[in-house]
Amino acid sequence: MSVISRTTTPETMKRPRTTHSRRRFHWSWVGLAAVGLAFAIPFYWMISSALKPQSEIYQWPLRIIPSHLAWENFSHAWNAVPFGNFFVNSLIVTVVGATAKVTLAIFSAYAFAFLPFPGKKWLFLAVLGALMVPGHVTLLMNYITIGNLGMINSYAGIILPGLASAFGTFLLRQHFLGLPKEVMEAAELDGAGHLRKLFYIALPMSVPAVVTVGLIAVIDEWNDFIWPLLVTNSVQMRTLPVGLMALKESEGVSNWGSIMAGTTMVVLPMLLVFLFAQRFIVAGLAGASLKR
């Protein structure tokens, strides 16, 4: 009995489990570090190439740190093409498009979560089906529709086809379903209508989910390339992703410092937005776990 008690003490039972958990913990950090390096190395190479003199970009062995900072790459990229117009166009399209997309997603998600109407489940299934349709499938029909409306080469033509967000509607609907029912019922007993419940109860309790949808919408609008390329036919209406292609055509393959400088100017605003909103993302996605 004494031998059995020694071999089955809690300390001896915990030792192999603790060792295994420590090993698994270390391997998880190794995996995260590998994934981080896979993203960090290209990003650092973009920044360093944007700040290198032209001669050091092709130097072998590769120079990791520039000998001096070539800030003229940024001014050259800005002046080689109308980068100012591209930036203003992207800013307008992103702000207006993302705001409208989030607003529509909020109202449609609230309707799917709390309003009874015929065929609600089937209509929501249609919204989920829209998530599975590649965006390129609708390019031709969208172009014909925008052309018939006379919106080619305009801000409305760039923004209008992307206003509906199936993913945003789904994410916010799932989050709304997870809100405490008691709070919504108490507001209804106090005589609050749907708009009041939405703006004073549902939205204040759903800030992480709304910020997550907004961040995704901002990144989508800012990085969109195919549709602005198709629907615009003048340089003055191009957005930044299309402008980068114009910059590459202007500089060819000989001036990679300016091309990387232009790429950096496109990437940095979204990086700053992401760093500001990242603390909401995990909470927003976790709060939208599947509900009934």
* Tens-place pLDDT, residues 223-242: 999 999 999 988 889 999 99
User: DSSP labels for 173-199?
Assistant: HHHHHTS-HHHHHHHHHTT--HHHHII
CA distance 132 to 276: 30
Ramachandran bin of 238, using left for φ above 0, alpha for ψ from -120 to 50, beta for the remaining angles: beta
Diameter of the chain measured on Cα atoms: 91
User: What is the residue extent of each domain of the chain?
Assistant: 2-50, 72-286
Statement: residue 275 has pLDDT above 70: yes
Q: How long a stretch of residues is the chain? A: 292
Question: Mean of the pLDDT values across residues 190-203?
Answer: 86
The residues near 192 (Cβ < 8 Å, ≥ 6 apart) are: 200, 201
Statement: residue 2 has pLDDT above 50: no
Arithmetic mean of pLDDT over the chain: 83
Q: Write out pLDDT tens, residues 48-76.
A: 888 888 877 777 777 778 877 888 889 88
The residues near 110 (Cβ < 8 Å, ≥ 6 apart) are: 172, 176, 194, 198, 202
Q: Write out pLDDT tens, residues 131-179.
A: 888 878 889 899 999 999 999 999 999 999 988 888 899 989 988 988 8
Statement: residue 290 has pLDDT above 50: no
- What band does 282 get if pLDDT is binned at 50, 70 and 90? low
Window from 22-26, 57-61, 105-109, 129-133 with minimum mean pLDDT: 22-26
Q: Write out pLDDT tens, residues 81-97.
A: 898 899 999 999 999 99
Higher pLDDT, 228 or 24: 228
The tokens of 222 are what? 């800012």
Statement: residue 28 has pLDDT above 80: no
Token pair 């489990």 in the structure block, residue = 17
- What band does 185 get if pLDDT is binned at 50, 70 and 90? confident
The Cα-based distances of 66 to 50, 51, 156, 263 in angstroms read 10, 7, 43, 18
Token pair 């390129």 in the structure block, residue = 136
**How many helices (H) and strands (E) in the chain?**
15, 0
The tokens of 179 are what? 């809100």
| Residues of the chain above pLDDT 90, percent | 28
- What band does 6 get if pLDDT is binned at 50, 70 and 90? very low
Element (H, E) at 209: helix 207-223
The tokens of 145 are what? 């529709």
Closest C-alpha among 108, 132, 130 to residue 120: 108
Statement: residue 16 has pLDDT above 70: no
The angle formed by the CA atoms of residues 242, 244 and 246, to the nearest 5 degrees, is 75
| Residues of the chain above pLDDT 70, percent | 87
Tell me yes or no: is domain 72-286 CATH 3.90.226.30: no
Residue 142 — φ and ψ, nearest 5°? Answer: -65, -40
